[in-house]
A and B are shown apart, each in its own frame.
Chain A
Amino acid sequence: MMEIKQLSKKYGQKKVVQDITVPIRKGEMTACIGPNGAGKSTLLEMVSKLIPSDTGEIYIDGGEIRTWKQNELAKRLSVLKQSNIMSMRLTIKELVSFGRFPYTKGRLNQHCYNVIEKSLNYMGLNELSNQYINTLSGGQLQRAMIAMVLAQDTDYILLDEPLNNLDMKYSVQMMKTMRGMVDDLGKTVITVIHDINFAAAYADNIIAMKEGKLFGSGTVDEMVTKEIIEELFEINIDIIEKESKKFVLYY
């Protein structure tokens, strides 16, 4: 269970995140949506302790994150930021083995090798594991990065715009992988997603943000309604229901 309480962040005079209080349920996928500049990524950065919050608290499994040591937090929570431009020539295996760093500081033991192997398997990267990451396609690189996060073996996984630069095929693949991480591996996934339909189809819960404030939160059914989405994005939309799934039609 993760709880965000009255969280705020200012850059200069600009309030990027204002007074956000929201619970995040364990073992489910929560998608963070909202227009550009709503403060979604900033929220994720604060939750993962990459940047400090100005006021407010974040509790992870009962402990406030400021009381967590960075290294201990790294065993509970991992984060993958958008746009990882990798110019460095690492093999996929080397990259994934970095995920074990919080546990062994780079001195890999047998357990590490097992976890790395499993992560590679899970992401279907076994045959590519000796390829250099700067030779990979966008989709493959994203999978390799996720494999690294999986090797970190944390309960909470934060993904900032994981669909960035992916085509339809890889986007669907990525969403299925994220769903699988929740359903098969029992992870709690929190992600920022721009495509509202992917969020509606794959996530359990939605946090909607607008201009730094919490616009609303709840299950997908509660949140994906014509009124809420129209007001959130300030455009006209239609909601189509097909096979009990909701689709947002916008153009």
Chain B
Amino acid sequence: MEKIGFFSLLVCSILISLLVGAEDITFIELFSPNELQKIILFSLRIPRTLSLLLAGATLAVSGVLMQQLTQNKFVSPTTAGTMDSARLGIILSMILFNQSSLLHKTLFAFIFSIAGTLIFVSFLNSVKLKSSIMIPLVGLMYGNVVGAIGTFLAYQHDLIQNATAWLQGNFSLISSNNYQLIFLVFPLMIIIYLFSHYFSVMNLGKDQVTSLGVPFLILEILVIIIISIATSAVILTAGNVPFIGVIIPNLISMKQGDHFKKVLFPTAYFGGLFLVVCDIFARVIIAPYEVPVSLIVGIIGTGLFLFLLLKGEQL
């Protein structure tokens, strides 16, 4: 029963996401669109909705993976410097290559986010922080430093407008020409599913995992590579959408626990759903204009998170 409810919720959200915008399309027109509506649907709305679903799912799953890796509930690509490092990579690729292609940007974003995340994780490994809340705080500071370097370079090379675009998640520029990169997350999701057994034991911590005969280091590197590719794909498609990786996994964890294999699908599902719904709000709130979706994510997400924190176990 619950499943049917959640499924119809997703279907409804997707429908609304297809219909709502500067040029509204009615439900009936969806099945017999005229030429203009066809163009809107196929080159804008469908790519946008698909990107939202995939980006939301990816960010939420990346978050939960990182949390299992570090055994800390507040670590995510946003709070570990992954996002900012990817952005720095993109800025550098634009500085180094005059006509920087998508391939350049992707490669640079990918390499930099791996390096940035590795630095953060090895920092965590060498410095044993006593308080679990310190880890995301240090991560945020680290991210801000990396972000500041990026912004500095962007100022020097007149790229600041581009750089800000990647700072704020915005799906309004997505069209059928520029969203294909997000499909990169499909193979990633399959890999994550195939390795989900391994990722499940990861949250016992390094020593206990090793004593179960699992090479923790390899697992760690695999996770970082997956998260870096995923984050790069999202940031290049839509920009930085903060905190989905923290909010959704924590919400799921309250109901379902932290067994990775068990929470993988719910996390991906609700991550996607959440971002689609947030984007609908972003489109209607000052229609016919839009606000960046990251703004809505921040507001709804924080409220939801606070509510659930206070309500705690009863849910």
Contacts and interface: CB of A to CB of B under 8 A. Distances in A.
B212 A88 contact: no
Interface residues of A, number: 32
A65 B191 CA distance: 32
Given A90-B203, A106-B198, A101 B73 contact: no
16 contacts: A50-B211, A70-B214, A70-B215, A71-B213, A71-B214, A72-B213, A73-B213, A74-B213, A79-B207, A89-B253, A90-B258, A90-B259, A101-B214, A102-B213, A106-B197, A152-B212
A145 to B, nearest CB: 9
Given A79-B207, A84-B205, A87-B132, A102 B261 contact: no
Contacts of B200: 98, 106
Interface in A149-176: 152
B71 interface: yes
Contacts of A102: 212-213
Interface string A103-125: 00111000000000000000000
Given A74-B213, A87-B72, A94-B259, A105 B207 contact: no
B197 A107 contact: yes
A84 B280 CA distance: 44
Secondary structure type dominating chain B contacts? helix
Contacts of B180: none
A131 B264 CA distance: 20
B252 to A, nearest CB: 10
A79 B206 CA distance: 12
Nearest to B197: A106
B207 A81 contact: yes
Contact of A50 (B73, B197, B207, B259): B207
A10 B79 CA distance: 36
Contacts of B259: 90-91, 94
A78 B71 contact: no
B259 to A, nearest CB: 5
Contacts of A78: 211
B210 interface: yes
Nearest to B257: A89
Interface string B2-24: 00000000000000000000000
A42 interface: no
User: Closest 5 interchain pairs by CB?
Assistant: A106-B197, A74-B213, A71-B213, A88-B258, A102-B213
Contacts of A98: 200-201, 204, 212
A30 interface: no
Contact of B257 (A73, A99, A101, A132): A132
Nearest to B255: A89
A75 B258 contact: no
Nearest to B206: A50
Interface string B183-210: 0000000000000111011011101101
A137 B71 CA distance: 20
Nearest to A100: B212
Contact of B211 (A48, A72, A94): A48
Given A87-B73, A91-B257, A101 B201 contact: yes
Most chain A beta-carbon contacts within 10 A, residue among B201, B203, B205, B213: B213
Interface in B209-225: 210-215
Nearest to B259: A94
B203 A88 contact: yes
A73 B210 CA distance: 10
Given A72-B213, A74-B211, A105-B197, 14 more contacts: A48-B211, A70-B210, A70-B213, A73-B213, A74-B213, A78-B211, A81-B207, A84-B208, A87-B132, A88-B203, A89-B257, A98-B204, A102-B212, A106-B200
